Amino acid sequence: MGANPSASLTPSIASDHPGVAELFAVLAYGEISAFYRLAEEAQLSPSMKGKLALAKMAAAEMNHFETLETALSDRGIDVFDAMAPFVRALDAYHDSTNPSTWLESMVKAYVGDGIAADFYREIAGALEPEVADIVRDVLAETDHSEFVVDEVRNAVAASRQDKDRLMLWGRRLLGEAITQAQFVLAQREELTELVITATGDLNNIIALFDRMQESHAERMAVLGLI
Alpha-helix runs per DSSP H in the chain? 18-41, 48-74, 79-83, 87-96, 102-107, 113-124, 129-139, 145-158, 160-187, 189-199, 202-222
| Residue nearer to a second copy on the CB measure, 52 or 217 | 52
Name the phi and psi angles at 12, rounded to 5: -145, 0
**What is the amino acid identity at position 8?**
S
CB of 77 to a second copy, least distance (A): 15
CB of 38 to a second copy, least distance (A): 9
Q: What is the dihedral of CA 140, 31, 13, 81, to 10 degrees?
A: -160
| Residue nearer to a second copy on the CB measure, 31 or 176 | 31
CB of 129 to a second copy, least distance (A): 27
| Residue nearer to a second copy on the CB measure, 62 or 196 | 62
The dihedral sign for the CA sequence 111, 115, 116, 121: positive
- CB contact burial 46-65 (16+ within 10 A = b; e otherwise): eeeebbebbebbbebbeebb
Binding region for a second copy (CB under 8 A)? 32, 35-36, 39-40, 42-43, 48-49, 51-52, 55-56, 58-59, 61-63, 65-66, 80, 83
CB of 71 to a second copy, least distance (A): 16
**C-beta separation of 99 from 108 below 8 A:** yes
| Residue nearer to a second copy on the CB measure, 65 or 93 | 65
Smallest CA-to-CA distance from 166 within 74, 110, 77, 103 is with 103
CB of 74 to a second copy, least distance (A): 18
| Residue nearer to a second copy on the CB measure, 83 or 220 | 83
| Residue nearer to a second copy on the CB measure, 16 or 81 | 81
CB of 48 to a second copy, least distance (A): 6
